[in-house]
Structure 1
Amino acid sequence: MENSLTDRDRAIRRVLWIVFYMNVAILAVKIFVWMFSHALSVAAEATHSSLDAVNNIFALTVARMAAEGPDADHPYGHHKFETLGALALAGILSVTVYELARSAVLRLVSGPTGALNASPAMVALLAFSAVAGTAVSQWEAREAHRYRADLLFADAAHTRSDVYATLAVLAGLIAVGAGYPIVDPLVTLVVAVIIARTGWHIIRGTIPVLVDERAVHPATIQAATREVDGVEACYHIRSRGRPGEIFAEITIAVDPSLDVIASHAIADEVEARVGAAIEAREVVVHVEPSGPVDGTGDPSHRDETKEAGA
């Protein structure tokens, strides 16, 4: 069972382009605030936002690779490139965390290096960027759910962490304006922790797909299979992938007296039922005869849900 994903791929790229332009606009605001405030935390946040834009370009490249159909070397398609791209974004975040933490510690050790400008205008501009970032991340998250795109989920999470970090920087800038410059590097450390947490959540979501962790509980597939007349048993149930990109494999047992055409018709029905139940991209059904076939014994089949530790 094979579904065309052309419309989905185009939609993902459209979302990424829109988010890219929005991130560039937000970055411009933060660079302006940094140039006039001279605050390390704002510089850190501008760096974080610049990575948002870089991530968008990287994601667009990965999305194009993931959109390619199956070929001789990649018979299951290229969709794991999308998940691999999300993991790479987490790697980029880790570099950012290191640089921000390093800068903050150096500032704490050496003390403030010049006057900081935390005027109401700077605070207002930073607040505006936080509001804009919130709108972008919420919209991208909705589109990620709509298209079930790992890349959009990862990018939306990154943008959301940017908003949290901006709010922390905003609070720090207000504290600096009140006469507490030591808050600036401390807030920078908070930003680093927020980014690190985002990267960890991305890693937790991508690793199961990359290592082919079970995508659907066998009981779910077995229930859909049992709805088909003529299926006497189902076992050796396997699944992998992510929602919308699930590959499943099942073995069913049918009456050994059935001819090939009848058995194939049952397998087709199982494929359709299971595919609809789990929204699979492809379902492969193997057919075996049930019960004794030569009078020498009964090759009984075990319950796959018990085999899988249900």
Structure 2
Amino acid sequence: MSIDNRSVVQRVLIITLVLNLVVMTLKAVIGWWTGSLSLVADALHSVTDGINNVLGLITSRLSSPVPDRDHPYGHQKFEAVGALGIAAFLGIACFQILQGAAERLINGGQPVNISSTELWLLLIVLGINIFVAFYERNVGQRVGSPILLADAKHSMSDVWVTITVVAGLIGVGAGFQWLDVVLAFPVALLVLWTGWSVLKANLPWLVDEMAIAPEAIQAIALSVPGVINCHDIASRGLLGRQIFIEMHLIVDAEDVETAHRITEEVEARLEERFSPVRILIHIEPPEYKSDRISYEGVGAAGEAGGAGED
């Protein structure tokens, strides 16, 4: 059974979109007032936050776990695609920050002027960023949403960016004008690292990387009375979100009813351990033998297909 948490995800994304718009506006206005390159770059980073929220709303609406004729495995990979979109936006933001910093180093610019009022406004912005990051992460972990977890990482990078910018502006206020440009570079690196983390977390789901070690699945199956062995075990998906498991099961049964009862017990134990999960089991007779737990070392397609014949 698939769990549809899209309404929760969409509510969180709407709340964070509103807060990110507030943050973006404050950063842009203060950056324009003060002439701070690092703060303008930080505002650009916050623009991507808002875009990410809109992208998340779109992909979350599309990512129904309920299968249909055209998508018999559900639509949840749309969320992972959305997370990859976030990584792409982070890459764009990184490039623009580096470009602006390089231009300031080469061509120079107006001195940055920062007041205590503007610093207090930035501290309020920082508090909003921290709230958004932890709020999205907590809900994302609870409902198993890749888009919320990816956006939470982005929001957390915004926290560190803002801390870096505020520290630099305090230094600028003390007379160190060069800090504004210098600190724009670590801001870019933080943005780039966040994008890489999001990419690394979502690619395995999109390329159907193994979700559960086949040995763990085999151990559960062998604990059921009547199971002699299981082989050609495959799994994909995301734990806590949706898992798909396929296997060949050798059972000690002389009739279909007994074999069916054994497979139902195997499915029940796997569902108890890895729910939500969809399981496909191919039954083999007792005399069938195979020592291959999974597909490791299988090269040709013909070899893989021939193993399941009986």
**Is 1:123 aligned with 2:112?**
no
Superposed CA deviations along residues 85-135 of structure 1, whole A, max 9, x for unmatched, are 101110111111111100101101112x22321111111111221122111
8 A Cα contact 1:267 1:285, kept in partner: yes
Matches of residues 103-182 of structure 1 in structure 2 within 5 Å? Answer: 103-111=100-108, 113-182=109-178
Q: 2: distance between equivalents of 1:207 and 1:224? A: 28
* Of 31, 36, 39, the match for 1:34: 31
Letter of the structure 1 residue corresponding to residue 46 of structure 2:
S
* Of 243, 246, 263, the match for 2:243: 246
* Of 76, 85, 90, the match for 1:88: 85
Structure 1 residue runs without a partner (length 5+):
292-298
Letter of the structure 2 residue corresponding to residue 187 of structure 1:
L
User: Residue 306 of structure 2 aligns with which residue?
Assistant: none
Q: 1: distance between equivalents of 2:258 and 2:193? A: 54
Instruction: Give aligned-pair identity as a percent.
Output: 35
Letter of the structure 1 residue corresponding to residue 36 of structure 2:
A
User: Residue 53 of structure 1 aligns with which residue?
Assistant: 50
Superposed CA deviations along residues 201-223 of structure 1, whole A, max 9, x for unmatched, are 01110111111110000111112
Letter of the structure 1 residue corresponding to residue 133 of structure 2:
S
User: Residue 300 of structure 1 aligns with which residue?
Assistant: 289
**Is 1:16 aligned with 2:8?**
no
Q: Structure 1 segments of 4 or more deviating over 2 A?
A: none
Matches of residues 177-216 of structure 1 in structure 2 within 5 Å? Answer: 177-216=173-212
Letter of the structure 1 residue corresponding to residue 105 of structure 2:
L
Give the Å deviation of 1:68: 6.0
State which drifts further: 40-49 or 175-184.
Answer: 175-184
Give the Å deviation of 1:279: 2.1
Letter of the structure 2 residue corresponding to residue 284 of structure 1:
L
Letter of the structure 2 residue corresponding to residue 79 of structure 1:
Q
TM-score, L = length of structure 1: 0.92
Q: 2: distance between equivalents of 1:28 and 1:106? A: 24
Give the Å deviation of 1:22: 1.4
**Is 1:75 aligned with 2:72?**
yes
State which drifts further: 34-43 or 64-73.
Answer: 64-73
8 A Cα contact 1:97 1:192, kept in partner: yes
| RMSD (CA atoms) | 1.5
**Is 1:62 aligned with 2:40?**
no
Letter of the structure 1 residue corresponding to residue 8 of structure 2:
A
Matches of residues 263-274 of structure 1 in structure 2 within 5 Å? Answer: 263-274=259-270
TM-score, L = length of structure 2: 0.92
Q: 2: distance between equivalents of 1:303 and 1:102? A: 54
Matches of residues 218-229 of structure 1 in structure 2 within 5 Å? Answer: 218-229=214-225
